[in-house]
């Protein structure tokens, strides 16, 4: 389990963007808005046009060598970054970047100041790469700009800060936090369209509920995302459960899973001395 970060103050997110109005409402509503009001996180939206140094607020230009589209100037990005306090990480959204995962979110949640560069058009001048500490990608697809990716990262990271969520333990069993997909959840009504809440969840046996939830998480992961099992922290009992769910011994070996516990030997009671064998 990843230890909780112990920040001395709020985690500040600074976003360099040409369209701050896209991120402003996202960062002001619901849990994020409340976290900002309580001083747990801070969101700083920097309009790169303010650092264009020309009357038309132009931040881009045509690419050298020709080609379609416009490229955001490196000097504009550098001046916008220079207006900010020192950052723990300066992050560029890029298709060539490191995949953004829960593990990365947990790492970033322990920082104090994160700066994100949100591109538009054909992206940034390649020399911007020398100004950043990390490149991130949220998937193998193309969007019109980095603001939607920034919103994803903002929510994924901010929710991990102590105090942001109402229940401090609520994120620990989330999909990917445990290495597995999350188990299914149920609430009222008890029965809906011939589907009832599983009996085990209504019985109050916490040990049985925990075992059922673990089995369901393993079942979902095996069925829907078996690739996750290669990096999940599996126990010998998990291996035994996976075998009952249809996994093979070769699967367990491929995932690096520990061997299941040996079967329990039957408890044969010794017969008292002098007792006839046929009795």
Which of 134, 266, 238, 253 minimizes the C-alpha distance to 180? 238
Q: Is 188 a catalytic residue?
A: no
> Which one of 122, 129, 135, 155 is the catalytic residue?
122
**Strands 191-192, 195-196: pairing kind:** antiparallel
Residue 266: per-residue pLDDT: 77
**Architecture of the domain whose range is 11-159:** 3-Layer(aba) Sandwich (3.40)
Residue 84: per-residue pLDDT: 98
Under 8 Å between Cβ of 151 and 143:
no
Q: Is 122 a catalytic residue?
A: yes
Q: How far apart, in Å, are the Cα atoms of 228 and each of 101, 141, 176, 206, 254?
A: 12, 21, 8, 27, 12
pLDDT tens per residue across span 92-106: 999 899 999 999 999
For residue 90, the surrounding DSSP H or E stretch is strand 89-99
- In percent, the amount of the chain with pLDDT more than 90 equals 83
Q: Is 159 a catalytic residue?
A: yes
> Mean per-residue pLDDT for 189-216?
95
> Which one of 85, 95, 249, 261 is the catalytic residue?
95
Give 104-133 as a 3 state SS string.
HHHHHCCCCEEEEECCECCCECHHHHHHCC
> Which one of 174, 225, 226, 251 is the catalytic residue?
174
Residue 264: per-residue pLDDT: 82
Q: Which residues are annotated as a binding site for S-adenosyl-L-methionine?
A: 119, 138-143
Residue 274: per-residue pLDDT: 63
Distance, CA of 25 to CA of 27 (rounded, Å): 5
Q: Which two tokens stand for residue 264?
A: 């329990």
> Mean per-residue pLDDT for 49-55?
96
Residue 272: per-residue pLDDT: 65
Residue ranges of the domains in the chain?
11-159, 191-255
Whole-prediction pTM: 0.83
Compute the residue count for the chain. Answer: 279
CATH fold, domain 191-255, is: 1.10.1270
């Amino acid at each position: 389990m990843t230890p909780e970060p112990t920040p001395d103050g709020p985690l500040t997110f600074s976003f360099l963007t040409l369209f701050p109005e896209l991120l402003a409402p996202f960062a002001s509503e619901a849990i994020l808005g409340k976290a900002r009001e309580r001083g747990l996180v801070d969101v700083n939206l920097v309009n790169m046009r303010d650092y264009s140094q020309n009357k038309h607020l132009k931040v881009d230009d045509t690419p050298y060598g020709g080609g379609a589209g416009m490229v955001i100037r490196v000097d504009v990005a550098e001046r916008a970054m220079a207006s900010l306090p020192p950052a723990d990480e300066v992050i560029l959204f890029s298709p060539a970047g490191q995949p953004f995962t829960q593990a990365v979110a947990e790492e970033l949640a322990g920082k104090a100041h994160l700066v994100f560069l949100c591109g538009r058009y054909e992206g940034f001048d390649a020399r911007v790469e020398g100004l950043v500490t990390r490149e991130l990608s949220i998937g193998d697809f193309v969007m019109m700009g980095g603001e939607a990716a920034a919103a994803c990262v903002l929510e994924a990271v901010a929710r991990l800060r102590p105090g942001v969520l109402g229940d401090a333990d609520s994120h620990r069993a989330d999909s990917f936090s445990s290495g597995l997909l999350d188990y299914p959840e149920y609430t009222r009504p008890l029965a809906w369209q011939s589907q009832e809440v599983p009996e085990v969840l209504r019985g109050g046996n916490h040990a049985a509920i925990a075992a059922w939830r673990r089995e369901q998480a393993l079942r979902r992961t095996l069925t829907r995302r078996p690739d996750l099992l290669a990096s999940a922290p599996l126990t010998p009992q998990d291996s035994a459960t996976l075998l009952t769910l249809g996994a093979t011994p070769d699967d367990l070996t491929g995932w690096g899973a520990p061997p299941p516990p040996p079967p329990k030997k039957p408890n044969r009671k010794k017969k008292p001395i002098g007792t006839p064998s046929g009795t």
